[in-house]
Amino acid sequence: MLGGVESTSTACATGVHCIGNAFRAVRHGYARRALAGSAESCVNPISLAGFHRMRALATGDSPQVSRPFDNKRSGFVLSEGVGLLLMERLEDAQKRGANVLAEVLGYGISSDAYHISSPDPSGIGAQLSMQRAIEDAKLKSEDINYVNAHATSTPAGDSVEADAIRNRFSANQHSIAVSSIKGHIGHLLGAAGSVETIATVGCIRDRKLPANLNLEQSDVGEKLNLLTQTVDWPDKRLIAIVNSFGFGATNASLVVGEI
């Protein structure tokens, strides 16, 4: 554990940025292995007051208020957590007999250059982030089977991401499965990307895709396969993309695949 240490702070994109930077370091030979991820502890009066003033939080005491892509969504539910992954070269993992769970195939980043807390309505930043991750993986959009969406249950954010997915995956938008797990666990801010990457690895391991919890009727789901129940994945290679988009106009996407 005597290699380099670095810290990234890019709001809700932090986790995927950390994992993506570690992926690049290992791939290009700057490290043989790296421990990467993020943590967030933000359920406190100051954070709650700040996000409330921004009108970013869901209100009410219903346990169903976190409802990504649903037409009744009103904001996110603040949450906390941590997620870490051990990244290493495949040959090193196999040599030590490790249980290799998945492979990081590509990483892409972009900036909206639009507004500190609102996404560009055109979705260009999200599209570029996904496009660059797919190109980095040397794949085509049609190779992606599942999108673990950033969708936080905010009116603008979910709509823009849905449009970006539709445009980026226009050739297979009807078949590609899309879900956000924030209906299950809330929004972990800086830890969201790492925890959701781990969840996607779990999808690959268990061959199951999670539902958009609390999604009853969508106003943004036209021509998209928004999952409303957990589904078994058929006997074919699962390749997923994980999206994390943060305040400050920062976007990150990670392509993760079955070995």
10 Å CB burial of residue 10 (0-12, 13-18, 19+) is buried
Please name the residue that has the structure tokens 């809330």. 186
Give strand ranges (E) for 165-223: 177-179, 208-209
Catalytic residue, from 12, 17, 18, 203: name it. Answer: 12
**187 catalytic residue (yes or no):** yes
Catalytic residue, from 17, 18, 187, 203: name it. Answer: 187
Angstrom distances, CA of residue 188 to CA of 212, 214, 258: 16, 18, 26
Q: Are strands 231-232 and 208-209 parallel, antiparallel or unpaired?
A: antiparallel
- Sign of the dihedral defined by the CA atoms of residues 37, 185, 223, 162, in that order: negative
**42 catalytic residue (yes or no):** no
**203 catalytic residue (yes or no):** no
Catalytic residue, from 42, 150, 184, 203: name it. Answer: 150
- Of 189, 169, 154, 190, give the one whose Cα is nearest residue 240: 169
Q: Any idea which residues carry the catalytic annotation?
A: 12, 150, 187
